[in-house]
Amino acid sequence: MTIDLAWLVRFTVQIAAAGVLITLPFGVALGFWLARTRRRSRSIVETLATLPLVLPPTVVGLVLLELFGRNRPIGRFLYESFGVSIAFTWRAVVIASAVVAFPLLVRTVRAAFEAVDPRLEAIARTLGRPPLYVFFTITLPLSARGILAGVILGFSRALGEFGATIMVAGNIPGETQTLSLAIFQLVQLGRDPEAYRLAVVTVLIAFTAIFASERLTRTRV
């Protein structure tokens, strides 16, 4: 196995970014609902949305495999209708990233929306603007920093994703192998110096992302 560092970094960052972007609309919608609803079902939904954060990633991977394997309901449907395979392809890596990034995104986004005074939204509606317009012109701009911080947090989590990915996508160099999977394989092969090199690169990427997120949430508007 030869290590193409540039390819690995690009692949890992692209996968993590794609995973977060896929979850973004859902995360924003659910975060807003959680921030504003007074329904009882809120706690249940919140718990379900947090689950991927605390479950062992292998369990998450197992669930994904149950859904997207070629002989499983969604996997079979996608393969037979569109000829698209999910399990053990880069698509599975993206899905695994999305699932593990989702809880962090939702929680941060919810907090960002909760910080927006709902009376501002009410006033905006008395000024003749319907709810969707108010959401995009008042709520979203006022919580933009928090949402961006959530995106970065989710992205960082997706970067380091290992357990779910290896379950549902395997560890195929050049196809589904991300930085963290490559490090695992190198250590198994006894090629520790190369593993350390990748580890340093991973730390640098994660550090940059988290640092940016901290700066965003700390600086006042």
Partner 1 sequence: MIHVSVQVPLSSFDLDVTMDLDGPVTAIFGPSGVGKTTLLETLAGIRQPSEGEIRFGDDVMFSSSASVFVPPERRRVGFVPQEALLFPHLNVLRNIRYGAHGDDPKITVDSVVDALEIGHLLKRATGRLSGGERQRVALARALLTRPRLLLLDEPLAALDIELKERILPYLRRVRELYDIPAVVVSHDVFDVLTLCDEVILVDQGRIRAKGSPEEVLTQPGPGGAFFRGPFENVFDARVAEQSPEEGLTRVMTEAGLELFAPHREVPVGERALVGILAEDILLARTAPEGLSARNLVPGTIRAIEEREGVAMVCVDAGDPIYVRLTHRAVAQLELEHGQPVHLIIKTHSIHWIA
Kindly tell me which residue out of 2, 25, 83, 128 binds partner 1, with binding defined by CB under 8 A. Answer: 128
Kindly tell me which residue out of 142, 187, 199, 206 binds partner 1, with binding defined by CB under 8 A. Answer: 142
Q: Using CA atoms, how far apart are residues 162 and 182, in angstroms rounded to an integer?
A: 10
**29 binds partner 1 per the rule CB under 8 A:** no
**115 binds partner 1 per the rule CB under 8 A:** no
Binding residues for partner 1, rule CB under 8 A, total: 18
**117 binds partner 1 per the rule CB under 8 A:** yes
Kindly tell me which residue out of 5, 29, 115, 123 binds partner 1, with binding defined by CB under 8 A. Answer: 123
Give Rg (Cα) of the chain: 20
Which CB, 105 or 116, lies closer to partner 1? 116
Task: With beta carbons less than 8 A apart as the criterion, state whether 187 and 146 touch.
Answer: no
Kindly tell me which residue out of 2, 25, 54, 130 binds partner 1, with binding defined by CB under 8 A. Answer: 130
Q: Using CA atoms, how far apart are residues 65 and 53, in angstroms rounded to an integer?
A: 18
Q: Using CA atoms, how far apart are residues 213 and 78, in angstroms rounded to an integer?
A: 36
Cα 44 from chain centre: 21
Kindly tell me which residue out of 28, 98, 138, 168 binds partner 1, with binding defined by CB under 8 A. Answer: 138
Which CB, 25 or 128, lies closer to partner 1? 128
Going by the DSSP 8-state scheme, the letter that residue 69 receives in this structure is: S
Kindly tell me which residue out of 127, 200, 218, 219 binds partner 1, with binding defined by CB under 8 A. Answer: 127
Number of Cβ within a 10 Å radius of residue 160: 16
Number of Cβ within a 10 Å radius of residue 45: 15
Which residues are near partner 1 by CB under 8 A?
117, 119-120, 122-131, 137-138, 141-142, 221
